[in-house]
Structure 1
Amino acid sequence: MQVEQLKHLVLNALEDLKARDVLELDVREASSVTDFMVLATGTSSRQVSALASNLVSSLKETGVTPLSIEGQDAGEWVLVDLGDLLVHIMQEQTRAFYDLEKLWGDFSLVEDQVGS
């Protein structure tokens, strides 16, 4: 699956369960690990886990298997590794603490995708 199709699938899956503050970052110039990152916020550990589960289910329906899924049981910060795309789903306080937007802030913000 092309990375643009993959991003579209990820963003739709996150939007389905009302993820907040969804951002897409283009980190191709800064990272040899991945090309894009999607950051999303859930309002609770339950929502973070549900967002990740919905995403993984949507991916599997199209034949895409994540390389890795980390943190789903705790529901504070879930990382879904799709190779060229990393998806970070976090609770609000975790996202504020780690501030990945600032860490990667010198790189291109692709779009503000879902209801902030």
Structure 2
Amino acid sequence: MQEIKENTNQTPLSEIVHQAVDAAKAQQIVSLPVSHLTSVTDHMIICTGSSNRHMQHLADTAKDAVQQHGAEVLGTEGMNSDEWIIVDCGDVVLHVMSAEAREFYHLEGLWDIKEMTD
């Protein structure tokens, strides 16, 4: 596994989470800036895991990276789910999904207004 470096240059939290799940072999990683759509968070990162175990690993890796960089994980949901795990880091919310759940819920379309208007 690729080691995440210390946040000495104030790397944005979204980049820290993105790098962490990429290093843990997440599939189809998408980062959506959503601050113009909601006050709940600034970025949604969506990725796909290949199995329940892989999904848990992705969530744990992201949580560890966030904490290593001095940021706080506010909560997680669905750690035992086969479909969807959410890691809330405040300014960034990570959605780790199975391929089936990702196709069914299509979060990219829900949060990407440009895609909806095209």
**TM-score, L = length of structure 1:** 0.83
1: CA distance, partners of 2:106 / 2:10? 25
Q: Does the residue aligned with 1:78 lie in a helix, a strand or coil?
A: strand
Structure of higher CA gyration radius? 2
The one-letter code sitting in structure 2 at the alignment partner of 1:90 is M
Q: CA deviation at 1:104?
A: 1.3
Report Cα offsets for 1:3-60 as digits up to 9, x if no partner. 8521121011101111011011111111111111111011111111110011111222
Is the contact made by 2:13 and 2:91 (CA closer than 8 Å) also made in structure 1?
Answer: no
| 1:14 counterpart = 2:21 | yes
Unaligned runs of 5+ in 2: 1-6
Q: Kindly indicate which of the two structures has a greater share of residues assigned to strand.
A: 1
Match of 1:87 among 66, 90, 94: 94
Q: Is the 8 A contact 1:56 1:66 kept in 2?
A: yes
Confirm or deny: 8 A CA contact 1:3 1:84 kept in the other structure.
no
- Unmatched 5+ stretches in structure 1: 109-116
Describe the SS at the equivalent of 2:12: helix
TM-score normalized by the length of structure 2: 0.82
Separation (CA, whole Å) in 2 of partners of 1:5 and 1:22: 16
- Which structure 1 residue ranges, 4+ long, deviate > 4 Å from structure 2? 1-4
Question: Pairwise mapping of residues 1-116 of structure 1 onto structure 2 (< 5 A)?
Answer: 5-107=12-114
Q: What is the aligned partner in structure 1 of residue 4 from structure 2?
A: none
Deviations 1:61-92 (A, max 9, x none): 22222111111122421111111111111010
- Tell me: CA distance 1:11–1:49, structure 2 relative to 1, closer, same or farther (3 Å): same
Structure 1 CA distance, aligned partners of 2:37 and 2:101? 23
Higher RCO (CA-CA < 8 Å; seq separation 6+): 1
Distance (Å, rounded) in 2 between the aligned partners of 1:22 and 1:50: 15
